[in-house]
Amino acid sequence: NWALSDFIEVEVARIKEKVGNQKVILGLSGGVDSSVAAVLIHKAIGDQLTCIFVDTGLLRKDEGVKVMENYGKHFHMNIKLVDAREQFLSKLKGISDPEEKRKIIGREFVEVFNQEALAFEDANFLAQGTIYPDVIESQSVKGPSATIKSHHNVGGLPEEMKLQLLEPLRELFKDEVRKVGVKLGIPKELVYRHPFPGPGLGIRVLGEVDEEKVRILQEADAIFIEELYKNNLYDEVSQAFVVLLPVKSVGVMGDERTYEYTAVVRSANTIDFMTATWSRLPYEFLDKVSSRIINEVKGINRVAYDISSKPPATIEWE
Ligand code: XMP
């Protein structure tokens, strides 16, 4: 695609020109937009870019390791890994209301990020993976999902820093960002990942969040996603994940009675995420996922499949 190679070349030149020999910081989430922005900017200015990756403890299994492997080792980018796991968990202790959890996670994220950013005293630019739909959304009246659930992204810069914004993807749609990502050499599997909400597993462990529940959910979710890839179903669905219910039920394992948590497997098909249907995944596949989760994840003895459409249900459970 000539237009996109062109985009990369033009944008790299523009970033070089704009940044000169100054320093840039960027909040790397592991998501498509911030990753593509990071690799693009790194291509332009190399080590003048430092990425800040916050491990909230609410990420998918091994996410931090994978980000460091891929963007740190493979792309040779400077990444500051911030381990904020305990901080997030302690702030969430005792909180079970979904909106309150979102607010706490959002607020905490901004605080941790800003504090880290402040340490880079010589930074002149804050880079963000803002894409065209984000620009539009922030200009218009917020859509229904924004008012039903307060979405969060990195908001505002530390004021003391007087950083200039660097947003090289501002004019691109999501599919163009993905194509740019592939052209830049980011593995397809990363570029075509399903969306992952800002509050992460904090809203997929229903009710009160603790370390043990997060671990259980990470294990179950990783099995579901692994099976989707193995069976060539990952790209057939728009978003798939596991939710952990704070409900225990009775089961039997060998001669033992068990009393453990329930996991819900959720998979949605959608064009715009405003409406969605549940994925008609094959029974054999669901059977495999269910047995693997129950057999391999200590703490879960029952798996349910979510057959709700949006509306009236939402894709996430909180
Ligand atoms: P719902 O659950 O409202 O989700 O049907 C629609 C899409 O939005 C994602 N989502 C979020 N993304 N921050 C995000 O960045 C959030 O707070 C948030 N809440 C929901 C959800 O994963 C789905 O793709």
Mean pLDDT of each 10-residue bin along the chain, 318 residues long: 85 98 96 97 98 98 96 96 97 98 96 93 95 84 42 54 92 96 96 96 98 98 98 98 98 95 98 97 98 98 98 98
Give the angle subtended at the CA of 59 by the CAs of 149 and 206, to the nearest 5°: 50
Q: Which of 138, 316, 317, 318 should be mutated for ligand 1, with most atoms under 8 A from CB?
A: 316
Do 47 and 103 fall within a single domain?
A: yes
- Ligand 1 site residues (CB inside 6 A) read 102, 145, 149, 151-152, 195, 197-199, 239, 273, 310, 314-316
User: What pLDDT is stored for residue 158 in this prediction?
Assistant: 63
Q: Which of 275, 315, 317, 318 should be mutated for ligand 1, with most atoms under 8 A from CB?
A: 315
Distance between Cα 99 and ligand 1 center (Å): 13
Domain limits for position 241: 204-305
What are the residues whose beta carbons fall under 8 Å from the beta carbon of 60, sequence distance 6 or more? 196, 200, 201, 218, 221, 222, 225
Measured CA to CA in angstroms, residue 243 lies from 103, 155, 205, 236 at distances of 20, 27, 6, 20
Atom in ligand 1 nearest the alpha carbon of residue 276: 5
Do 98 and 213 fall within a single domain?
A: no
* Cα gap 76→185, rounded to integer Å: 13
Number of residues that this document lists for the chain: 318
- Residue bearing the CA closest to ligand 1, atom 6: 273
* CATH, residue 182: 3.40.50.620
What are the residues whose beta carbons fall under 8 Å from the beta carbon of 159, sequence distance 6 or more? none
Do 25 and 151 fall within a single domain?
A: yes
* Cα gap 111→122, rounded to integer Å: 19
Contact 46, 22 (CB under 8 A): no
User: What pLDDT is stored for residue 157 in this prediction?
Assistant: 61
Maximum alpha-carbon separation in the chain? 70
Q: What is the pTM of this model?
A: 0.92
Measured CA to CA in angstroms, residue 124 lies from 21, 116, 149, 155 at distances of 10, 14, 33, 18
User: For residue 311, how far is the Cα from the chain centroid?
Assistant: 23
User: What pLDDT is stored for residue 154 in this prediction?
Assistant: 44
Do 182 and 220 fall within a single domain?
A: no
Using omega within 30 degrees of 0 as the cis cutoff, is the peptide bond preceding 311 cis?
A: yes
User: What pLDDT is stored for residue 165 in this prediction?
Assistant: 94
- Residue bearing the CA closest to ligand 1, atom 4: 315
Residue in the block written with tokens 């894409």 = 131
| Structural domain includes residue 196 | no
Distance between Cα 119 and ligand 1 center (Å): 31
Do 107 and 181 fall within a single domain?
A: yes
Structure token digits, residue 96? 């079970």
Do 49 and 130 fall within a single domain?
A: yes
User: What pLDDT is stored for residue 152 in this prediction?
Assistant: 41
Atom in ligand 1 nearest the alpha carbon of residue 106: 17
Do 244 and 170 fall within a single domain?
A: no
| Structural domain includes residue 82 | yes
| Structural domain includes residue 253 | yes
